[in-house]
Amino acid sequence: MKADIGKGMKVFHSSNHNNYSDEVRGRIRDIRNQYSNNSINEREARDAIRKLQMDIKNKIWSGQVSTTKCMRVN
């Protein structure tokens, strides 16, 4: 974990993080439902997933996620 500090991360993304996982699953489910309902096409669904990945990565790196006392993603 100490090595991660040198990477500039404000939080640790390791071990269990149920709240984080539930939020990500929910956002993926929303995209899947939009695709299943023909609200978005395949390309838009892929773009939405990629945007979600970038958004989550940026939030983790900037520390804008729910954390435990020891700064692990919650």
In our burial notation (b when 16+ CB lie closer than 10 A, e otherwise), range 10-26 reads ebbeeeebeebeeeeee
Are 57 and 51 in contact by the 8 Å Cβ rule? The answer is no
Query: Is residue 5's pLDDT more than 80?
Result: no
- Tell me what pLDDT residue 20 has: 77
Decide: residue 69, CB within 10 A, 0-12 exposed, 13-18 middle, 19+ buried: exposed
Give the pLDDT band of residue 49 (cuts 50, 70, 90).
very high
Supply the pTM of this predicted model.
0.69
What is the average pLDDT score of the chain?
A: 79
Q: Which residue has the higher pLDDT, 3 or 21?
A: 21
Give the pLDDT band of residue 40 (cuts 50, 70, 90).
very high
Q: Which residue has the higher pLDDT, 33 or 6?
A: 33
Decide: residue 73, CB within 10 A, 0-12 exposed, 13-18 middle, 19+ buried: buried
